[in-house]
């Protein structure tokens, strides 16, 4: 099942390359069919998923390198379940949205987009460190070309920065992955790259610390976390919107996902010693991003900086290191994926209708466009964390987790208050954005300005429904996330290093 989900987009991508360049309609239907099938399969996962089970489900594997026991092993738990569905969902949205726009190289663009989707999905389902790493890098290549070829503004600078940044992180991660396996080999004289197996290994504090830092840097850059975020405003600003849907909605979650999947179970002692510092960066990022967003005039960079703020919440929740906080983070990943991508779509719609996305040149679009007005308002309210909508559920759980966190205890109150400040700023910039674009009277609006069409409505509608549904009834989501988070937080350490083993065998 998972193999289908992951590789259908890649197959579709390959099919697109093989297509005739000028056949527009088949290109569209193949791209849509590929992502649609992928979404269909991933929704089926929901029905087969056992919510009580805290282990990996739908596990499937292929041997890759037998001598080193490297496998292409896939499986999902309650954490990756939602991220897979989210990615598949955003894949469809991105394809629909991009086919509704003019693009001379539609075929190439869609092919890269689909390859990107495979990369992201692979990251979320890989249970083997090497296959995780391969998919991690696979995400990078399509996004490099998408920004570099279809981007706007200073796109080469943006994409080079993005790729170099991420590469530095991922190379560090590769070192740590290899070192981790070597440790395991020393302890057991067997090879394993299996995440689950490795996380049962007891590591001494020093080893944990440097390995943790290698992994963490890779993830923190990908998220990105303050102060490693400098690639994001450039990349987001220049990235075409359909790809941005996947990049902001799904790919930015890969970093946070990695922290939960690797850092939590593997390096508990390192987290205990570094959580305060990381918390400070995360909390600082929440306020920093939000504060800058307040005065942004370009809608795209406004949403970009608001993303930095919201991603800060997610990282802070993870390092609260208790179930509420981490569950809140996972839920918030889904929430942010839905909200931010929908907001970017709206920015795209506004830009295509008005020819600009500068706030000071926009005004009064609400009167001729009541449907967009309503949807934009709902999404802006969700983004600013209005209780009753989904953003609040995540923020509430995260801050509740932080407040009761043991690892952050000394600074918990301060971090929560910083979160509060970020929420206040969020209400300011979101209202600036929404009111600025949609309200007040504007005599200069184009006469033929029409409300959003069916395709645009269809793209935004699912987001609006989910925003309300998760806000009113988060239980089905949290119920599935909970057990997996608990098992990530309480990984049993059964495999000891040789020194400890020797000591015990002497007695």
Partner 1 sequence: MFGYGWLVLIAPLLGFLSLSCLGKRIPRSIAGYLGCATVGFAFFISLILLVHLSVLEPEERVGGAQALYTWIDSGQFHLDFAILIDPLSVFMFLIVTGVGFLIHVYSLGYMEHDPEFKRFFAYLNLFIFSMCVLVSAADFFFLIVGWALVGLASYLLIGFWRDKPSAVLAARKAFVMNVIGDVGMLVAAFMIFETFGSLSYQKVFEMAPTMFLANDMNMILITLFLLVGAFAKSAQLPLHTWLPDAMEGPTPVSALIHAATMVTAGVYLVARCHTLFELAPFTMYVIATVGIITATFAGTIAMVQTDIKRVIAYSTMSQLGYMFLAVGLGMFSFGMFHLMTHAFFKALLFLGAGSVIHSLNEEQDIRKMGGLAKAMPVTYITFLIGSLALAGFPLTSGFFSKEAIIMGAYHSEMGNILFWGLAVFTAGMTAFYTFRLFFCVFQGDLRTPDAHPHESPVTMTGPLVILGFFALAAGVLGPWVDSFLSPVFGGHAEHYQDGFLETIAVFVGLGGIMTAGLLYMVRSDKIEPIKEALAPIQEILFHKYYVDEIYDFLIVKPVKAISVFLEDMGEKKGVDFAVDQVGEQVREVSKYVSLWQSGRIRDYAVNMVAGMALVLIFVAFL
Binding residues vs partner 1 (CB under 8 A): 161, 164-165, 227, 229-231, 233, 288, 291-292, 294-296, 322-324, 327-328, 364, 366-367, 370, 374, 381, 384, 386-388, 392-393, 396-397, 399-400, 403-404, 416-417, 420-421, 423-424, 427-428, 431-432, 435, 438-441, 473-475, 478-479, 482
Q: Which is nearer to partner 1, 187 or 399 (CB)?
A: 399
CB 198 within 8 A of CB 266: yes
C-alpha to C-alpha distance for 465 and 153, rounded to whole angstroms = 34
- Start-to-end Cα distance in the chain: 49
Shortest distance, position 474 Cβ to partner 1, whole Å:
5
Nearest-approach distance from CB 415 to partner 1, in angstroms? 11
Nearest to 230 by CA among 280, 276, 288: 288
**Positive/negative CA dihedral, 297, 301, 306, 312:** negative
- Phi, psi (rounded to 5 degrees) for 437: -80, -35
Task: Tell me the closest approach of the beta carbon of residue 466 to partner 1, in angstroms.
Answer: 16
- Phi and psi at 406, nearest 5°, equal -85, -40
Comparing CB distances to partner 1, the nearer of 161 and 202 is 161
Of 54 and 367, nearer to partner 1 (C-beta) is 367
Measured between alpha carbons, how far is 363 from 356 in angstroms, rounded to an integer? Answer: 11
Nearer to partner 1, 249 or 255 (CB): 255
Using CA atoms in the order 6, 8, 12, 17, what is the torsion angle rounded to 10 degrees?
50
Query: Shortest distance, CB of residue 437 to partner 1, whole angstroms?
Result: 12
As measured in angstroms, the least distance from the Cβ of 292 to partner 1 is 5
Distance, CA of 458 to CA of 466 (rounded, Å): 13
Residue 482's CB: how many other CB atoms inside 10 A?
A: 20
Pseudo-torsion of CA 361, 364, 369, 373, nearest 10°? 100
Phi-psi region of 278 (alpha: psi -120 to 50; beta: other; left: phi over 0): alpha
Q: Which of 293, 287, 135, 159 is nearest to 232 (CA)?
A: 159
Shortest reach from residue 30's CB to partner 1, in Å? 35
Query: Tokens for 134?
Result: 């391969």
Judged by beta carbon, residue 111 or residue 408, the one nearer partner 1 is 408
Q: Which is nearer to partner 1, 165 or 319 (CB)?
A: 165
- Residue with Cβ nearer partner 1 (16 or 308): 308
Dihedrals phi, psi of 501, to nearest 5 degrees: -65, -45
Q: How far is the CB of 160 from partner 1 (least distance, A)?
A: 9
Q: Which is nearer to partner 1, 61 or 420 (CB)?
A: 420
* Residue 299, CB-side half-sphere exposure with 13 Å CA sphere: 33
Cβ atoms of residues 73 and 194 within 8 Å:
yes
| Helix or strand run (H / E) with residue 480 | helix 475-489
User: In the complex with partner 1, which residue's Cβ is closer, 54 or 427?
Assistant: 427
> Which residue, 388 or 446, has its beta carbon nearer to partner 1?
388
Smallest gap from residue 354 Cβ to partner 1 (A): 18
Least separation in angstroms between residue 227's CB and partner 1 is 6
- Give Rg (Cα) of the chain: 22
Closest separation between CB of residue 232 and partner 1, Å?
A: 10
């Amino acid at each position: 099942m998972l193999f289908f989900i992951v590789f259908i987009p890649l197959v579709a991508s390959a099919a697109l390359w093989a297509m005739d360049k000028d056949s527009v309609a088949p290109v569209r239907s193949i791209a849509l069919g590929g992502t649609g099938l992928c979404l269909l399969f991933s929704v089926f996962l929901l029905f087969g998923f056992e919510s009580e089970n805290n282990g990996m489900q739908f596990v499937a594997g292929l041997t890759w390198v037998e001598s080193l026991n490297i496998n292409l092993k896939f499986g999902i738990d309650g954490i990756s379940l939602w991220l897979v569905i989210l990615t598949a969902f955003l894949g469809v949205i991105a394809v629909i949205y991009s086919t509704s726009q003019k693009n001379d190289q539609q075929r190439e663009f869609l092919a890269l987009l689909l390859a990107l989707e495979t990369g992201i999905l692979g990251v979320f389902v890989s249970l083997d460190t090497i296959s995780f790493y391969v998919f991690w890098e696979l995400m990078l290549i399509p996004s490099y070309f998408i920004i570099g070829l279809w981007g706007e503004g200073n796109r080469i600078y943006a994409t080079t920065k993005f790729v170099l940044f991420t590469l530095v992180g991922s190379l560090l991660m590769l070192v740590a992955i290899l070192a981790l396996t070597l440790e395991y080999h020393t302890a057991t004289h067997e090879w394993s790259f299996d995440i689950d197996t490795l996380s049962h290994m007891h590591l001494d504090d020093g080893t944990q610390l440097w390995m943790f830092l290698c992994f963490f840097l890779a993830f923190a850059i990908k998220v990105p976390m303050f102060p490693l975020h400098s690639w994001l405003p450039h990349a987001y600003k220049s990235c075409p919107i359909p790809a941005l849907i996947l990049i902001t909605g799904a790919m930015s979650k890969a970093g946070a996902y990695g922290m939960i999947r690797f850092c939590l179970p593997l390096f508990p002692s390192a987290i205990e010693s570094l959580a305060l510092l990381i918390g400070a960066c995360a909390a600082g990022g929440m306020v920093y991003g939000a504060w800058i967003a307040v005065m942004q005039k370009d809608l795209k960079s406004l949403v970009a900086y608001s993303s930095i703020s919201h991603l800060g919440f997610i990282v802070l929740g993870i390092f609260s290191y208790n179930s509420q906080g981490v569950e809140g983070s996972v839920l918030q990943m889904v929430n942010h994926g839905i909200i931010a991508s929908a907001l970017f779509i709206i920015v795209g719609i506004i830009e295509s209708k008005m020819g600009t996305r500068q706030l000071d040149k926009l005004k009064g679009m609400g009167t001729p466009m009541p449907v967009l007005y309503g949807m934009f308002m709902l999404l802006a309210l969700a983004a600013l964390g209005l209780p009753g909508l989904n953003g609040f559920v995540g923020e509430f759980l995260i801050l509740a987790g932080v407040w009761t966190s043991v690892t952050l205890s000394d600074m918990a109150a301060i971090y929560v208050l910083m979160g509060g400040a970020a929420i206040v700023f969020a209400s300011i910039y979101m209202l600036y954005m929404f009111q600025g674009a949609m309200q007040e009277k504007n005599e200069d609006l184009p006469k033929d300005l029409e409300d959003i069409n069916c395709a645009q409505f269809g793209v935004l509608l699912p987001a609006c429904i989910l925003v309300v549904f998760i806000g009113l009834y988060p239980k089905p989501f949290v119920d599935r996330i909970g057990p997996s988070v608990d098992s990530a937080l309480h990984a049993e350490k059964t495999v000891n290093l040789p020194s400890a083993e020797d000591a015990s065998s002497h007695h």
